[in-house]
Amino acid sequence: MNDHIDLDAFLHTDPRDVGCEEATEALHVYAELYAADPQAARTRYPGIAAHLKACGPCSTDFEGLLALISE
Amino acid sequence: MAVDDATEQWLADLRATGATRDAAHARLHDLLLRAARTETNRRANRLRLTGVEVDDLAHQAAADAMLAVLAKLSQFRGESRFTTWAYRFVVFEVSTKLGRHFWTRNPAVPLDGIAWERVPAVFGFSAEREAEWRELFVVFRHAVENELTDHQRQIFQAIVVDGVPLDALRVRLGTNRNAIYKVLFDARRKLRAVLVAKGHLPEER
């Protein structure tokens, strides 16, 4: 298993990234939109999409929320 | 904002008094506990949690999610189903409980000083190919030691070198996820700028 961190990817930051607080505040809205149409969610909330791509903890929360509403 | 019938019912029952409200609280706790069990189980394999730990953490997460949902009920704006909004607190509380749980499994992580001999392996730099990465690594280390603040270095060391989960670190430092993310975000940006300026990384990906 290759579990090292890619330095280039790790150091890349997206200026659209809204951070954990804003992403968490809107995660329920983003998740419902994403469940219906992932591309529409990414287009409407690019800052949240950028954040979830970079933040492991928020991404894990999002995956869990998505799984719960998709049950 | 118009809400679905189920959401409307949840809000009416939770805002009621007496037996109606008590029954709604019981239903809400059942809902949150089921969600917390599902979410804790989803993460259990990766974290090698036992069945007892899963159940204990799920109960703790559900209890705190319940408190958060009731405390913030007036802030619910109907932008999603009520249950989706409530589940948001569950996943976050599961993260918090698992962050706290990390320290019961790993009490000896020191959080002081960067073990530089371990950093090449963190980034997949092998000893056989040292000639290819040595110069970049010298620049990177110099930037970490001279461009980052003490706090940024501490966060970098804990998360990147020692592999401490961000939620475990926020519990240990008594701060929030966003504060740590922002510190690391700024550190990543600084380090990248140095490596780009020295020609070790491209300007844009």
Our CA-based measurement puts residue A54 at a distance from the nearest CA of chain B, in whole angstroms, of 10
Q: How far apart are CA B96 and CA B134, in angstroms?
A: 38
- Chain length of chain A: 71
Residues of chain B positioned with their CB less than 8 A from the CB of A2? 124
Q: Which residues of chain B have pLDDT under 50?
A: none
* Main-chain phi, psi angles of B174, to 5 degrees: 65, 40
Domain with CATH 1.10.1740 in chain B: 5-105
A4 touches chain B (CB under 8 A): yes
**What's the structural domain count of chain A?**
1
A10 or B34: which carries more pLDDT confidence?
B34
Domain that holds residue A64: 13-69
Assign domain B5-105 to its CATH architecture.
Orthogonal Bundle (1.10)
What ipTM, to 2 d.p.?
Answer: 0.93
Q: Is residue A54 part of a domain?
A: yes
Assign domain B116-197 to its CATH architecture.
Orthogonal Bundle (1.10)
Of B88, B122, B124, the CB nearest to A27: B88
pLDDT classification of A1: cutoffs 50, 70, 90:
very low
**Contact across the interface for B39 and A32, Cβ inside 8 Å:** no
Q: Is residue A21 part of a domain?
A: yes
pLDDT classification of A30: cutoffs 50, 70, 90:
very high
Q: Is residue A33 part of a domain?
A: yes
**pLDDT score, position B204:** 66
pLDDT in tens, B61-84: 999 999 999 999 999 999 999 999
Closest CA in chain B for residue A25: B88
**pLDDT score, position B101:** 92
**How does DSSP assign B56-94, residue by residue?**
HHHHHHHHHHHHHHHHTGGG--SSS-HHHHHHHHHHHHH
What is the model's pTM? 0.91
**Contact across the interface for A64 and B43, Cβ inside 8 Å:** yes
**Contact across the interface for B201 and A24, Cβ inside 8 Å:** no
B133 touches chain A (CB under 8 A): no
* Main-chain phi, psi angles of B158, to 5 degrees: -65, -50
Residues of chain A positioned with their CB less than 8 A from the CB of B54? none
Average pLDDT of every residue of chain A: 94
**Contact across the interface for A4 and B189, Cβ inside 8 Å:** no
Q: Is residue A2 part of a domain?
A: no
Our CA-based measurement puts residue B38 at a distance from the nearest CA of chain A, in whole angstroms, of 8
Give percent of chain A above pLDDT 90: 85
Domain with CATH 1.10.10.10 in chain B: 116-197
**pLDDT score, position B202:** 87
Q: Is residue A8 part of a domain?
A: no
